Amino acid sequence: MILIIVLAILSFDQLTKFIITRNLALNQSIPVIKGIFHLTLVRNRGAAFGILKNQIPFLIFTAIFAIILLYLAIRKNKHKKIYSIALSMILAGAIGNLIDRVFFGYVIDFLDLRIWPVFNLADSAITIGAILLGWSTCFQKSAQ
């Protein structure tokens, strides 16, 4: 089940990035719900919120290190379902953004809520996984 989660998120992330880059010009924005949700193609050369801009080698190294730790944590805790699912979501997101950094030197972002920096599906998986991880940690016995 873990492999399916990782492959599904990773595939969907990469497919959406491919579709967006083929159909939008850089910084082009298309309203889906005007003023609330747009598709806007941007290139993030940093980490979350654009911090560590142009530190690509450091971000690649950090992502690889995090991916290794996530994989080991999943293997160690595979009997904890929700915990493992959360780690798998974070792992898939980390791999999705690492692929962008390695091949392009930046992360492709396109989901634009207008009140938040533009993000992508990998970022969403990381965020949802982190929330789920926190929940499973707080309620560990009931989350297994």
Task: Give the burial class of 26: count Cβ atoms within 10 A of its Cβ; 0-12 exposed, 13-18 middle, 19 or more buried.
Answer: exposed
**Which of the residues 13, 100, 112, 123 is marked catalytic?**
123
* Residue that is written with structure tokens 């791999």 in the block: 95
Is residue 123 among the annotated active site residues? Answer: yes
How many Cα atoms sit within 13 Å of 143 on the Cβ side?
Answer: 17
Contact 89, 81 (CB under 8 A): no
Give CA separation, 79 vs 73, 75, 126, 144, in Å: 11, 9, 21, 7
Beta bridge partners of 44: 107
Beta strand pairing call for 37-44 and 29-33:
antiparallel
Is 13 one of the catalytic residues?
Answer: no
Point out the catalytic residue in the list 13, 100, 109, 112. Answer: 109
**Residues with catalytic roles:** 109, 123
